[in-house]
Amino acid sequence: MNDSVPVLEVAGLSVELPSGADRKFAIEAMSFQVRPREIVCLVGESGSGKSVAAFTVMGLLPKALRPVAGRIALAGEDLLSAPPERLRDLRGSRMGMIFQEPMTALNPVMTCGAQIDEVLAVHTSLDPAARRARILDIMNQVRLPEPERLIDAYPHQLSGGQRQRIMIAMALVLEPALLIADEPTTALDVTTQAQILELIKDLQRDHATGVLFITHDFGVVAEIAHRVAVMQWGKLVEFGTTEDVLKRPRHPYTKMLISSVPGIVPRHRPRPETARPTVLKTEALGKTYADAAWFRKSRTVKAAESVSIEVRRGETLGIVGESGSGKSTVARCVARLIEPSAGRIWLAGDDIAGLSAGRLRPHRRKIQIVFQDPYRSLNPRRTVGESIVEGPMNYGLGRAEALARARSLMETVRLDPGSLDRYPHQFSGGQRQRICIARALAMEPELLIADEAVSALDVSVQAQVLELLDDIRQKLDLAMLFITHDLRVAAQVCDYVAVMSQGQVVEYGTAPQVFGAPRHDYTKALFAAAPGRNWEFGKFAAG
């Protein structure tokens, strides 16, 4: 392949949004190139237009959006003026794409083999036997175990990582010149993410593929990119080598983004001199799920097993783990949203593990949770004021006092107290999460549980919400249980860290101990997989 011709050249590309949108262009006057054997990361926060750019290249834009200016060339061939049939020929053969959600991106009713086979059947004239050989070969290349068996498996029988490998196999089976990867590892666990990133790097090198890799995660950028393009509000604000952009960012927005990336080294936190009173303590807490069956043996799943943790006033305990580790189960047992099946839960000296609903009621107020998805955890048909005052009024506070408390809490979470009569959809994601925090605080809890409370937020918003949470903990002297899959986030806010794997706490200690000298193999593996772990993201003054 001629290395001087870029596999993808985008020049002056503008895509217009339908009238009535918050801005005129989804992307505006965008120019960049991807060279053969090169990985270009397109970075930006939600709404920056990075996915629109990818779909424009593939010719898969929704009808409401249309390119109005510029040029896109795939290995020299103009795409914007190409007829639809030609674009269809190129898709899957010369340019392939993989997506964020491996759970939903595969057709659930077709076998994995058949889905890869479609690409070959449409774009080549190979006979079925030759196609099958090609499929097995590419499945081997993406390091799927037992291709002979998985070729006939349905997507739901595979793990998330395996499904993403099937997607990659599908995109690369015809050795396209360009691979577009749209947040391909965002939905995966950190250890799986590390393997998939490694795989993409290896395949891209072996096949001389140019890769346009879309991500919001600077850790991933540090791990994989040769060059980085930063997008803000539809404009490409900075484009350069990874080294340059990450170490010497020039644009204020890039500086802000990189400064917002939480560091992986625990922040030094002052230790109280005297022992603080314990707010929450669990002893051998366990949760077992069993499905009753009439005609066969019932299956049991141990979601959590002998979990013993302790949180004192004014302290934050982080529970860190991958999906299915049991971290959310523990949070839900502690809040008694689900019934624990073993152990004790001491809340300020009372055992609440076995209390009946009626006896539990006075204790409910003391534990409040902030959930992951701020878009779904507020009732869309109630004003945020009503959502905030509902809890305290349930516990006997008068409406006037409750509203006064809501107003003061809006200030605490740095929102306009005058906006209490607005509805959730009138706020951004970060603002909604602040409202959720205010709602939780309105109950004057002793323990605040944050269940992946910042995971759905953009990195700059995430930094603000983390800071807010830490601020509130200090000011109100709260005990906080912080559930997260993100080691960087845990490093920033936790005094103590419990690492969970397969329902058990495998390592438990102060944040500096766990981060500085992990003892358990699983913890070590988790740290080794954290993207960008060898990269210290600098703090840059904006401007």
H/E segment holding residue 391: helix 384-394
Q: Which stretch binds other proteins (CB under 8 A): 70-78, 104-112, 129-137, 224-232?
A: 104-112
- How many residues sit close enough to other proteins to count as binding (CB under 8 A)? 29
- For residues 35 and 178, give the distance between their C-alpha atoms in angstroms, rounded to a whole number: 9
Q: Is residue 478 a contact partner of residue 314, using CB atoms and an 8 Å limit?
A: yes
d(CA 465, CA 456) in angstroms, rounded, equals 11
The two three-digit tokens of residue 74, written as one number: 């795939």
Least gap, CB of 123 to other proteins (angstroms): 6
Closer of 111 and 259 to other proteins (Cβ): 111
User: In three state form, how does the secondary structure of 253-287 look?
Assistant: HHHHHHHHCCCCCCCCCCCCCCCCCEEEEEEEEEE
- Looking at the Cβ atoms of 175 and 310, the one nearer to other proteins is 175
> Can residue 156 be called a binding residue for other proteins (CB under 8 A)?
yes
Using CB under 8 A as the binding rule, whether residue 58 contacts other proteins is answered as: yes
Radius of gyration for the alpha carbons in the chain, expressed in angstroms and rounded: 25
Q: Does 283 bind other proteins (CB under 8 A)?
A: no
Q: Of the two residues 91 and 434, which places its CB atom closer to other proteins in the complex?
A: 91
Nearer to other proteins, 53 or 167 (CB): 167
Report the alpha-carbon distance of residue 55 to residue 97 in Å, rounded. Answer: 9
Q: Name the pairing type of β-strands 496-501 and 504-510.
A: antiparallel
Instruction: With contacts defined by CB under 8 A, name the span among 91-99, 194-202, 342-350, 446-454 that binds other proteins.
Output: 91-99
Asked whether position 213 contacts other proteins by CB under 8 A, the answer is: no
Q: Nearest to residue 123, comparing CAs of 112, 108, 134?
A: 134
CB within 8 A of 342, min separation 6: which ones?
Answer: 284, 285, 286, 287, 288, 306
Whether the Cβ atoms of residue 328 and residue 483 lie closer than 8 Å to each other: yes
Shortest reach from residue 111's CB to other proteins, in Å:
8
Identify which of residues 84 and 543 has a Cβ nearer to other proteins in the complex.
84
Q: Which is nearer to other proteins, 92 or 321 (CB)?
A: 92
CA neighbor of 415 nearest in space, from 399, 434, 391:
434
312 binds other proteins (CB under 8 A): no
- Stretch of 35-43, 96-104, 330-338, 431-439 contacting other proteins, by CB under 8 A: 96-104
CB 53 within 8 A of CB 213: no
Does 151 sit near other proteins (CB under 8 A)?
no
| Residue (268 or 296) nearer to other proteins, CB | 296
143's tokens: 């390091």
Could you tell me the smallest distance in angstroms from the CB atom of residue 106 to other proteins? 6
**Closest CB to other proteins among 62 and 349?**
62
- Give me the least distance between CB of 189 and other proteins, in Å please: 19
- Would you say 375 or 379 has its CB closer to other proteins? 375
**448 in contact with other proteins (CB under 8 A):** no
Residue 149 touching other proteins (CB under 8 A): no
Among positive and negative, which fits the CA dihedral 379, 385, 386, 387? Answer: positive
Instruction: Give the H/E segment covering residue 14.
Output: strand 8-16
Q: Closest by alpha carbon to 53, among 22, 10, 20, 23? A: 10
The residue within the footprint of other proteins, chosen from 274, 295, 349, 541 (CB under 8 A), is 295
Q: Is 170 in the site for other proteins (CB under 8 A)?
A: yes
Determine which residue in the list 93, 412, 431, 501 makes contact with other proteins, applying CB under 8 A.
93
444 binds other proteins (CB under 8 A): no
Choose which of 108, 270, 349, 418 interacts with other proteins (CB under 8 A): 108
Tell me: does residue 527 bind other proteins (CB under 8 A): no
Which is nearest to 183 in space by CA: 55, 23, 287? Answer: 55
Min separation Cβ 146 and other proteins, Å: 18
Chosen residue from 50, 91, 227, 327 binding other proteins by CB under 8 A:
91
Residue by residue, DSSP assigns 46-79 as TTSSHHHHHHHHHT---TT-EEEEEEEEETTEES
**What residues contact 354, with CB distance under 8 A and at least 6 apart?**
none
> Smallest distance, Å, CB 155 to other proteins?
9
Instruction: Find the shortest distance in angstroms from Cβ 212 to other proteins.
Output: 13
Q: Please report, as ranges, the residues that interact with other proteins according to CB under 8 A.
A: 58, 60, 88-93, 96-97, 99, 101, 104-110, 118-119, 122-123, 154, 156, 167, 170-171, 295
